[in-house]
Amino acid sequence: MVNQKGGVGKTTTAVNLSAALALSGQRTLLLDMDPQCNATTSLGLEPAEGHALVSDAALKASIVETGQRGFSMVPGSRTFHDIDKLAGGGDRESGRVRRHLDDAMGQYEFILIDCPPSVGELTQTALAASTEVLMPIQCEYFAMEGLTQLIQTIKRVIIATDGRLTFGGILLTMYDPTLELTREVDEEVRDFFGDIVFDSVVPRDVSLSEAPSHGQTVFGYAPRSRGAFAYTQLCMEVLQRD
């Protein structure tokens, strides 16, 4: 989950898409690589003292259960030393992260990574270890601003990893069909990116904002909400594309 802008629904998507995949019967692991640790705390979990990805120990030793069947997590860490190591390790650190993820793939159908809101080294480390990138885009005036830089970064990683990384899709978030601006952004993004944009959109829904304060996903907090329906639809679309 990548976007250089904050507040676009990146962590919300990482958490709730993970939950939706688990509910569909897919064993899912969410990995928090954002030093803010919002994905971790939104599920009522504590950040780790040290990040599992900088350790040589097997990743499974740091995996915790979220309380939802089939949905596990590797908590984030706010430890500056670990953040610096992950961000500044170059090919060596990217290789370590990739090995951790490859080892875990035997136990999970999906591993989702919540990245920090930047195109810095930490995000690039996550991209280099991944196979697909999903980009949430908020339906606002500056939605397309900065995307060129982000896409160029993704392209460099695709080349450097010999095509291991691919575009998984672009997701429109905070969608309000009653607003002219939303319709304009929708049209512009779909015209520019084509079929890579998900048909599913995530609406503005207070349940999505409130759920983290209760340490829950939207499915636990408000299972009949518009937000829960949207992430169910997205989950179905992801499974169809996979």
Q: What kind and span of H or E run contains 160?
A: helix 147-160
| Domains along the sequence of the chain with CATH | 10-231 (3.40.50.300)
Q: Give residue 29's pLDDT.
A: 97
**How far apart are alpha carbons 202 and 109 in whole angstroms?**
23
Q: Give residue 170's pLDDT.
A: 94
Residue 233 tokens, joined: 């639809």
pLDDT tens digits for range 90-113: 566 667 777 888 888 789 999 999
Model confidence pTM above 0.85: yes
Q: Give residue 143's pLDDT.
A: 79
Name the 3-class secondary structure at 19: helix
Cβ neighbors of 121 (< 8 A, separation 6 or more) are 87, 88
pLDDT tens digits for range 152-176: 889 988 998 888 899 899 999 999 9
Q: Give residue 90's pLDDT.
A: 58
Cβ neighbors of 75 (< 8 A, separation 6 or more) are 32, 37, 40, 45, 46, 47, 48, 62, 64
pLDDT tens digits for range 8-22: 999 999 999 999 999
